[in-house]
Structure 1
Amino acid sequence: MAEPERDRGFERLVAFIDAMVAIAITLLVLPLVELTAEIDDYDSVNALLRENQAEVWAFLLSFAVIARLWFVQHDSVRHVVGYDRRLARLLLLWALTIVFLPFPTALVAETPDDSTTKLLYIGSMVLSTAILTLVEARLARHPGLTDGDDDADPVNGAANVAMLAAALVITLVVPATSYAPLLLLLAADPAARAWRRLRT
């Protein structure tokens, strides 16, 4: 039996969103590129890197975050063959959170301990993950938008949102923890599995 063909309009929408993600992830490296103009101010490249560890760390962390969010989004829509206006709006709103992320990333490099920086940075991740959870919920309620093989389940997304929100609260209430509470994300999958067992 032939698989349903993906709607051409949806293909264009996904390609457009992928292009935005690619641009956003490229923008992350621009502050590092600009550092090369200051190489004469340092004794060596090693010295430049040591002095700008915060910028390098912020780049690597945000690259990993955007890549992870893109993989989650990709997994969410891989079985989608059609779309409606609400799904399109959710995906575009998700893309907005990704395009915005280089801004708080730059702030993390300059003012990592500022509470507003933490709110913007981790808050962007919370919002992005929450939107993908809504996409999963939309597809679970409207399986006709998929090829029939989709196993859309918002539980994983909800667990990630909960862990990110908890990380945000902890880092704001206990500033000394810095961004370490983001490691709570490692508990998201076990939490989702535990929730599923409780429901069965």
Structure 2
Amino acid sequence: MVARERERGFERFITFVDAIVAIAITLLVLPLVELTAELDDYGSVSGLLRENQAEIWAFLLSFAVIARLWFVQHDAVEHVVAHDKRVERLLLLWALTIVFLPFPTSLVAEAPEEPATKLLYIGSMVLSTMLLTHIDLLLVRHPELTDGNGDADPVDGAANVAMLVLALLITLLVPATHYFPLLLLLAADPVARAWHRLRGGGSRSAREGD
């Protein structure tokens, strides 16, 4: 099958969304940059790093989260070629969750154990992933929006949503776990593959795991 070329309007829109993500992920480092102005208060670089471990951890974690969400978004729209308002609205809402992430990231550094911080931080990831899952579901129902070579799979997204919701519940109910329950995301792909095996079907994640 000859792949259809992406419509120019949608290509420009995707470039716009990617630019939003690039700016948001860059903004994450600004709080760390501002710390250098206080270097004299810490006496040394090692002292500054030691006293701001929480801020550094929050930066690294959020960088990894936004990068992962971008890769999921990239996979979701890679084969979309048609200019569709529904997809664009979902992607704009998704971009909003990415732009919002630096705010709860700062809260993670300043008040990491407050339930509101955890709800805003992990909740943003839940909403972001749900929107991408909705896009996959839309593409399954409307394959004419793609070049015909895609493999939209809402099960993969649903598995990620489930792991994030579970992580949120654990970190709220068992505060001592801090943010380590987010590592449950590593189980999302195996869970999706197991689901497809039980249903006797194939999926993007299943094939990648073979």
- TM-score under structure 2 length normalisation: 0.93
Report the RMSD for the aligned CA atoms in angstroms. 0.9
Counterparts of 2:60 and 2:26, CA distance in 1? 12
Counterparts of 1:3 and 1:160, CA distance in 2? 29
In structure 1, the gaps of 5 or more residues are: none
Q: Give the C-alpha shift of residue 2 in structure 1.
A: 4.3
Q: Give the C-alpha shift of residue 85 in structure 1.
A: 1.2
Q: Report the counterpart of residue 35 of structure 1 in structure 2.
A: 35
Residue pairs, 1:143-182, within 5 angstroms: 143-182=143-182
Structure 1 range deviating more: 82-91 or 54-63: 82-91
Q: Give the C-alpha shift of residue 76 in structure 1.
A: 0.9
Structure 1 range deviating more: 175-184 or 56-65: 175-184
Number of equivalent positions: 200
* Conserved 8 A contact 2:136-2:152: yes
Counterparts of 2:60 and 2:126, CA distance in 1? 19
Counterparts of 2:164 and 2:3, CA distance in 1? 37
Counterparts of 1:103 and 1:197, CA distance in 2? 39
Q: Give the C-alpha shift of residue 83 in structure 1.
A: 2.9
Residue pairs, 1:89-168, within 5 angstroms: 89-168=89-168
Moved over 3 A (4+): none
Counterparts of 2:3 and 2:115, CA distance in 1? 49
* Conserved 8 A contact 2:3-2:149: no
In structure 2, the gaps of 5 or more residues are: 201-210
Q: Give the C-alpha shift of residue 5 in structure 1.
A: 1.2
Q: Give the C-alpha shift of residue 3 in structure 1.
A: 2.5
Q: Report the counterpart of residue 48 of structure 1 in structure 2.
A: 48
- TM-score under structure 1 length normalisation: 0.98
Structure 1 range deviating more: 184-193 or 94-103: 184-193
Counterparts of 1:64 and 1:193, CA distance in 2? 23
Residue pairs, 1:58-97, within 5 angstroms: 58-97=58-97
Identity of aligned residues (%): 76
Q: Report the counterpart of residue 188 of structure 2 in structure 1.
A: 188
Q: Report the counterpart of residue 19 of structure 1 in structure 2.
A: 19
